[in-house]
A and B are shown apart, each in its own frame.
Chain A
Amino acid sequence: MSDELERELRVMLHDRATLVGDDLHVPGDLDARVRRLRTRRRLTAGALAAAVLIAAGTVAVVVNRDRSPTSVQVQNPPTGTTRLVETGVGRLVALVNPDGTVERNVVLLPEPLVIFKLDLVGDTLWYLVMTRQDLAGSVRCASLQRVPLAGGEPQTVVDRTYAFAVSPDGSQLAYGTAPGCGHDASDPQPRLIIHDLKTGNTHELIDTRWSLHPDANARYEPFSAPFPDPTIGWSPDGTQLVVGWQQDGHFSLALVDATAKGTISADVTTWPGFAPAFIGNALWYIERPGKGAPERLARRDLGSGDVVSQPSPFSPGVSQMEPGPGGSLYALTGAPKGYPSHLERWDHHLHASEVIVRDPSDSMHFRPSYIATG
């Protein structure tokens, strides 16, 4: 009886669905309605972020990746200063409050503007700007620019790259190049460049002989989901770099000696994993043993190389992790799976996790001292 009813129900639903057909009216005002909704969301997000800043003394980041007006709020507790950064189409405003006073620096940026990654290191704001020309290209890359919060014009540091990380002491910049994005498209290997910000010298940490993937002809996909972008990260002491990328659906990580002079030519160990985050002398990252298998949280000891893993305490679909205070981990989860994304925090001392912000819808990035909302 039950099976028969289920069969009848299944057949009825499919019969009804076939009557709907594929001919549907496409509304002519889709663009206008989407724009209106985005504007309304931004107003709400800005108010929410400001409320978080004021009420809790915490940190908020709202980053939108499209060309419409957007806002970014940043506070940097480790230095005891307050910085508010707001971006919009063609402009970037920084309000710096190190001692109770507020300074204001308005920087005009070229149009069209898409800031898709932003970081605050010391008194300098770093960001990747994509132009329309970049967006149209087969490889998505952008210009890396920096602007001192105290004032001054933005400077282009790297013309074409897709990922960057500034060393903890602010003295070195690591960035990636890929075929057609920073180096010749005929050269299939991505590279990692170290740029000494004091001397201006650069050197390459990964050379073309190092195959990033067993299939050397595999296409490099620097912007494939679930990563918002490939990962480059510095260890807290500035001696090692972790590099993460996706290639043909495989996620790989590698540790590279950042103190090496010249090119590292071979024998860099890689292993499956993504969303790396350094905490002390360990590198934490996410493993996905197989398609559909539950994610696992792994810890790799930088000294011994030993790896210990456990079921991930986060919701499925981790795309980014960052160390938080007291040895905790923040993770941005969910978005690639089609679920509402969460910003979650896990304390490995307490073995407890919590959701910090649900559905940070317009945020792609956060930093340890930031809470993303939107």
Chain B
Amino acid sequence: MQATASLGVGLDPLSLEALYRAHAPAALRLSVLLTGDPALGEDIVQDAFIRVAARRARLHDSDAFAAYLRRAVINQARSHFRHQGVVRKYAAVTHTPETTLDPDRTPRHDVWKALHRLPERQRAALVLRFYEDQSIDAIATTLRCRPGTVKSLISRGLEHLRKEVVDV
């Protein structure tokens, strides 16, 4: 477990807490960008972390753990929105992911709002591309689709954003 040796100060590098402290902040940022909701984002990170940690015996380095966790976060977020789709359909309740971050303190609020009105796959592709700077191939692997599909998701996502944010 060489790569976990640098995790945490004063903690057993193999402990779950050390792993959590090392990897959860980055995962939380990704999760909040995907969901727009810090509380929901933290729930998703915890669930994703539990899933990946349960398999950590075969993860030999922190890069592998981080990659697994990132993918688990995306999957959990997608599962959440799929579930919300079912809930909306039958309960006729419109759920708009809403950030508790103060919008007045955050620039480009229109872009943020428009991003969270996109279908979840388009949003995930845009976040991975423009926040994580992932390549098209890497995004395709993460989203389990073909590179051409990723290009299409990004293109359509940008097109929707452009229509919604007229003054950009």
Contact = CB atoms under 8 A, between A and B. Distances in A.
A27 B108 contact: no
B158 interface: yes
Given A20-B32, A34-B16, A337 B126 contact: no
A4 interface: yes
A13 B127 contact: yes
Interface in A2-34: 2, 4-6, 8-17, 19-22, 24-27, 30-31, 33-34
B152 to A, nearest CB: 15
Nearest to B50: A33
Given A24-B28, A337-B64, A65 B58 contact: yes
A338 interface: yes
Most B CB contacts (10 A, CB to CB) among A17, A20, A228 go to: A20
Given A6-B158, A9-B126, A31-B16, A364 B51 contact: no
A38 B158 contact: no
Contacts of B165: 5, 8
Interface stretch (A47-55, A218-226, A257-265, A296-304): A218-226
Contact of B50 (A5, A13, A22, A37): A37
Interface in B11-51: 16-17, 20-21, 24-25, 28-29, 32-33, 38, 41-42, 46, 49-51
Given A5-B161, A15-B107, A364 B58 contact: yes
A66 interface: yes
B107 A25 contact: no
Chain A: interface size category? 35 or more
A8 B60 contact: no
Interface in A336-373: 336-339, 361-362, 364
B96 interface: no
A41 B32 contact: no
A339 B138 CA distance: 10
A10 B130 contact: yes
A17 B26 CA distance: 9
A10 B38 CA distance: 19
Contact of A2 (B55, B112, B130, B158): B158
Contacts of B41: 20
B112 A12 contact: yes
Contacts of B82: none
B153 to A, nearest CB: 14
Nearest to A335: B58
Contacts of A364: 58
Contacts of A225: 60-61, 64
Nearest to A12: B108
A336 B67 CA distance: 10
Contacts of A4: 168
A1 interface: yes
Q: Is the interface of B mostly helix, strand, loop or mixed?
A: helix
B133 to A, nearest CB: 9
A82 interface: no
A46 to B, nearest CB: 16
B54 to A, nearest CB: 4
B108 A15 contact: yes
A13 B130 CA distance: 8
A363 to B, nearest CB: 8
B60 A224 contact: yes
A223 B3 CA distance: 12
B106 interface: yes
A2 B161 CA distance: 10
Contact of B55 (A1, A12, A361): A361
Nearest to B105: A19
A233 B31 CA distance: 45
Contacts of B168: 4-5, 8
A20 B38 contact: yes
Contacts of A34: 16, 50, 53-54
Contacts of B141: 339
B39 to A, nearest CB: 11
Given A17-B32, A225-B64, A338-B67, A11 B55 contact: no
Contacts of B24: 24, 26
Given A2-B162, A8-B168, A14-B131, 5 more contacts: A9-B130, A9-B158, A17-B32, A30-B53, A338-B71
Closest 4 CB pairs of A and B: A338-B67, A225-B60, A12-B108, A13-B131
21 contacts: A6-B130, A8-B168, A9-B111, A9-B130, A10-B130, A10-B131, A13-B130, A13-B131, A19-B101, A26-B20, A30-B49, A30-B53, A34-B16, A38-B54, A223-B60, A225-B60, A225-B61, A228-B58, A337-B67, A338-B68, A362-B58
